[in-house]
Chain A
Amino acid sequence: GEDVEQSLFLSVREGDSSVINCTYTDSSSTYLYWYKQEPGAGLQLLTYIFSNMDMKQDQRLTVLLNKKDKHLSLRIADTQTGDSAIYFCAESILGVTGGGNKLTFGTGTQLKVEL
């Protein structure tokens, strides 16, 4: 079955790097995503990685994928107060019983950036 797990909270100081971790169980994942949710707002797609990649970098964001361990991480360099939000990882599995893009989300990690 599908299960995506994240730690619930992370606190960092402004300017430090943040690393948010995620583990998943379904080895047939095709895409893995990171979404950001600010208070009272919807989900914003931050970045995604295809399952045959190990790493993807996009400005301050670095995504690392360890497919053997089914471990995904999001590193935010030079974390700012505006990065305070809930971060969700999600996996997408193609063509599951005709369900198409069925996303399975983690529980979300609340990132708090302190001055």
Chain B
Amino acid sequence: EVQLVESGGGLVQPGRSLRLSCAASGFTFDDYAMHWVRQGPGKGLEWVSSISWNSGSIGYSDSVKGRFTISRDNAKNSLYLQMNSLRAEDTALYYCAKDVYAARHAAGRLNYWGQGTLVTVSS
């Protein structure tokens, strides 16, 4: 059974940093690209970032580019999101999601999602 378990969320002050983790199990982690998607309170889904199977291809939304860094450790079956210079508008539930392809692919789709970890940016 595929499982994605996010952790690392919490309350953080504006301008500070936070690192999210996603522990994957039930599939061959290094065979697939992975994504972070967030959802602000009462809002829609927003794609944040994705990374190919070998970390060779990475992309970010314009809203987080230059502040967030996605990474993965295939030996540990883990995905990460380093979030720096956090803003109030980064407050959201952050989901880790698995793609069906190894590469960052235009036909990609997110076929498994975790339950999310909540990040609240407030003073």
Partners in one complex: no
B residues at A contact (CB < 8 Å): none
Taking Cβ atoms with an 8 Å cutoff, the residues of A that contact B are none
